[in-house]
Amino acid sequence: MIVFESVTKRYPGGTVAVDHLDLEAPKGRITVLVGPSGCGKTTSLRMVNRMVEPTSGRVLIDGADTAASPPAALRRGIGYVIQHSGLLPHRTVLDNIATVPLLLGTDRRRARSRAMELLERVGLTPALAKRYPAQLSGGQQQRVGVARALAADPPVMLMDEPFSAVDPVVREQLQNEFLRLQEELGKTIVFVTHDIDEAIKLGDRIAVLRVGGRLAQVASPAELLARPVDAFVAAFVGRDRGYRALGFAAVSSLPFEREETVRLGEALATARDRLNGGWVLVVDAEDRPQGWLSEDGARLAAQETVTEDALNLGGTLATEDGSLRELLDAALSSPSGRGVVTDGEGRLLGSISPSTAVRLIEERSSAPAGAPGTGEEA
């Protein structure tokens, strides 16, 4: 666990970047620091590995005052990932990843074979190992940055806007892979972002800071959305927080309805017979939904069987143990007006209408406070 104990940083010139910060970042979890530009996020992060020294107060890691460890020794146990990956331009990807183990005296062969493992672990092909950073895309560079920070297997990771410099699609991929990796690795992570959506998606705990480096609120994502402490946090968390909060409300015992289907490859005549409200759901041989076929699609199709190119791919899928947000989104985005619900393996369970989704939401909001899915989870 990382503990900030009344930590203040006043830069020469008098700017108070961080003001009496008290905060705990629990072991094995992701703690996100979020807030507007200049609220002291980066400064707080850098006080953990002593790139910035506190003016007063203490930062403790597992009970030990960081001020008592020489910075070099301290940083051996702390991975650091920054926005523009910070890779060394004249070293290959593999050597970049192996930098810290080599500095720590690991022999070259072992360091490189471990670097190869990490390369794959962060979702990159081994073929990239011999390239130089400039020969990679922004998203690939960020993955290499993460692999490099993991190379010495540090228990603590500090991440400063690591996914901000890439486009939204790549950012989402990186976030998903990061969450998957963290599930395996269980590092103690402090993650800085100015993006509240990213904070909500990644954080186990979120600390919202205000300009002047004062802590406004620390809470789980669900708690932050449900109960912002003041107008500043409410405004920062955003106007559609009610909708976002649905993302934390799990659905139990979904009242989905049976949905008539047709398989890819079956006769179009069969598809036409099964149209319901002008649409029929098309599944593959394992009953996994592939898309919707419309009345027009069935009439105008070039072939006599149901093929993929005739399908409308609109509509997100909800899973039976997913959230109310997922369910509502599936219902609202479906071209047929019926949201598709699948099991964990992606097989069809049935469909649900927007009005049923709304009824479930209403039932939830009238449930007594403290009911499952409404408050801070374990």
Ligand X SMILES: Nc1ncnc2c1ncn2[C@@H]1O[C@H](COP(=O)(O)OP(=O)(O)OP(=O)(O)O)[C@@H](O)[C@H]1O
Site string for ligand X, 93-112 (x = CB under 6 A): --------------------
For the chain, state the CA radius of gyration: 25
Least Cβ distance, residue 236 to ligand X (angstroms): 13
Least Cβ distance, residue 11 to ligand X (angstroms): 3
Among 1, 3, 5, 38, binds ligand X (CB under 6 A): 38
**What six digits make up the tokens of 276?**
């319901």
Least Cβ distance, residue 54 to ligand X (angstroms): 13
* Residues linked to residue 342 through DSSP beta bridges, in sequence order: 319, 348
CB atoms < 10 A from the CB of 303, how many?
Answer: 10
Stretch that binds ligand X, among 10-18, 195-203, 284-292, 324-332 (CB under 6 A): 10-18
**What six digits make up the tokens of 101?**
């183990």
Number of residues that bind ligand X (CB under 6 A): 12
Least Cβ distance, residue 85 to ligand X (angstroms): 17
Which residues have a Cβ under 8 Å from the Cβ of 107 and sit 6 or more positions away? none
Integer Cα distance of 138 and 143 in angstroms? 9
Integer Cα distance of 350 and 322 in angstroms? 14
Nearer to ligand X, 41 or 364 (CB): 41
Among 31, 42, 142, 182, binds ligand X (CB under 6 A): 42
Among 2, 7, 17, 94, binds ligand X (CB under 6 A): 17
195 neighbors 162 (Cβ within 8 angstroms): no
Is there binding between residue 41 and ligand X (CB under 6 A)?
yes
Integer Cα distance of 215 and 18 in angstroms? 9
257 neighbors 350 (Cβ within 8 angstroms): yes
Nearer to ligand X, 42 or 220 (CB): 42
Residues 168-197 that bind ligand X (CB under 6 A): 194
223 neighbors 206 (Cβ within 8 angstroms): no
Is there binding between residue 11 and ligand X (CB under 6 A)?
yes
Is there binding between residue 14 and ligand X (CB under 6 A)?
no
Least Cβ distance, residue 218 to ligand X (angstroms): 16
**What six digits make up the tokens of 375?**
């408050």
Q: Site residues (CB under 6 A) for ligand X?
A: 11, 13, 15, 17, 37-43, 194
